[in-house]
Structure formats: C-alpha cells, structure tokens
Amino acid sequence: MNYLLFNKLSKNGNNMELRNKVKALFKGEEVVEDDVIDLDYDKYFEKLTENDNVTLVGGDGTLNHFVNIVNGKNLPCKFYFYAGGTGNDFFNDMKDYIENDRVLLNEVIKDLPIAIIKGKEYRFINGIGYGIDGYCCEMGDKLQAKSTKPVNYTSIAIKGLLFKYKAPNGRVTVDGVTKEYKHIWLAPTMKGKFYGGGMMIAPNQDRFNKDQVTSVVMYGSGKLKTLLRFSSIFKGEHIKYTDMVEVRCGKNIKVEFDKPQALQVDGETISNVLSYEVRLK
C-alpha cells in the first residue's frame, strides 16, 4: 500500500497542487493520506508492513518534526521524502540520491545529532542556526503571524545586519577545546551543508559522516564588511575569508553567547537562548 504523510500547514495550507503532483508519482495506484502533524505514530507504525511504502511530503520543518517523533527508531517499511517546502535544504543536500522525485529516508535519519537547548533534546537533519539566522527566523515568524504574504528573509537579514541585530560575544567549544569570539554574526552547527533556504554554510560537511558535525563562526567584522561578504555563503565561498570565518569539526560542540538570542533548528525558532550543545552518540 502507498501512504502519504502531508503537512496541512505546508505552503501556507495551499497544497492542493502539491498533492496532485505527488499522487501522480503512483500512476493511478491506491494512495492513503494522513496528516503528519496530528498523527498517532504508535498506531500508525503498527499497521504498516514491510511491503508498504510511505512518502512524507513537506519542508525541512516537517522533516524535523518527523525525525524527532521517530527519534532514532527503526522504520517498519520504506519511508521517502518529497520536498514540498520553501527552502528544501535537505533535498538540495541529497540531490545525488533523488529517485522518482523522492529521497529514501530510512538510513539517512539514523544516528542524527542531538541538540540540547534550554534542557530539552532535539534531533536535527540539517543544522542549528544561532545568530542573525535565528534572528531572521524569529522576525519571519512574527511577520507570518500578521500576514499571509511571503516573508522576504533577505530583506530581514540586510536590515538586521545594518541596524537591528546586535552581534554578541561568545565562545565555542569543540571536543573540549574552547575559543572566544567577539561580535558573532553566525554560529551554526551543521549535519548537512545547507540551511536558510540554500545557504551553503558548511560546504565540506558530509551528512553521511556519523563521526562529525561542523561548527562555523562568522565573527569580528563590522556591519558593512559582513554585509558585503554575506552573499558568498550561498556558494560556500565564505570559508576562504579566514579573517572573519572559522570552521571546526567534531563530535561535541557547545556554543555560548553573552546575551540571549533567537535560535533555529531546521528552521524552527526557539527564542531567548543563551547556549546550546550538540553531541553525536
């Protein structure tokens, strides 16, 4: 049996065209639909057999919701992912593994890193953004709560860089080695290469390497210099600017700021965060 898991909130709820496009993959075969958000997963998994297949449809936030529910458990059948979001960073990172417009999830979501934020554990599929990226997500959420118009994150980032975002000081500890930084603009930890809707923040990170995640710190520069070099992140070229970007890899990472900032996990916002930790099991 073919099953579809949709996020009814994806595409701001306007996903009928997306539904029809996904159903076309099955060429007239019977398809059963369920909502990924409201599902009782214990009962759902019990009814599945190894001959079934499930296609999860949504964006990176939908996938983050799913991997935190699964939380490292073995899946009872083949689970696929069809990109139906706006950023689709996971799908972009997995472009070499796409078959029939889908990516097989079963092995990819095993042994994901665990982030500890305000005492709570989260698994993540792409990465954690802490700095102006978290600020942009927080501002975007506020705008979406007031309007159905698409959010212009580029505009938010530029205004934040020039006027509103106050870069904190902080420190980053990678496998026990701590370094301090002034004026931190970005301090993500990445499982994949991409976040933020196409920014290649960690171009050398291999999501299939289960022994490391990547910390990237953009720091120390003034507003104008940071703004001029910010666009280089989309091609992964920012890492050549070693005067303001440092990349470190490891199994255990802790990022601490000297004042609370918004943070995003696979695009899902958490406000007023002083620190986070990431560990690999």
Each residue's pLDDT expressed in tens, for the chain with a length of 281 residues: 999 998 776 654 556 778 888 888 888 789 999 988 888 998 999 999 999 999 999 889 899 999 999 887 889 999 999 998 878 999 999 999 999 999 999 999 999 999 999 999 999 999 999 999 999 999 989 988 888 787 888 888 888 888 899 999 999 999 999 999 999 999 999 999 999 888 999 999 999 999 999 999 999 999 999 999 999 999 999 999 999 999 999 999 999 999 999 999 998 999 999 999 999 97
Q: Where in the chain is the domain with CATH 3.40.50.10330?
A: 2-104
SS3 69: helix
Amino acid at 211: D
- Decide: residue 80, CB within 10 A, 0-12 exposed, 13-18 middle, 19+ buried: buried
Q: The pTM is what?
A: 0.91
Position 9 scores a pLDDT of 65
* In CATH, 125-279 is 2.60.200.40: yes
What is the C-alpha separation between 216 and 203, in angstroms, rounded? 10
Are the CB atoms for 244 and 220 separated by under 8 Å? yes
Alpha helices in 160-250 (DSSP H): 223-230
The encoded tokens of residue 65 equal: 């919701």
Look up residue 168 and give its DSSP letter: P
Position 11 scores a pLDDT of 54
Q: What are the phi and psi torsion angles at 53 (to 5°)? A: -140, 145
* In CATH, 2-104 is 1.20.210.10: no
Closest C-alpha to 125, from 113, 135, 116: 113
Are the CB atoms for 250 and 175 separated by under 8 Å? yes
Q: Where in the chain is the domain with CATH 2.60.200.40?
A: 125-279
Position 54 scores a pLDDT of 96
- Decide: residue 48, CB within 10 A, 0-12 exposed, 13-18 middle, 19+ buried: middle
14-33 in b/e form (b: 16+ CB < 10 A) is ebeebeeebbebeeeeeeee
Position 206 scores a pLDDT of 96
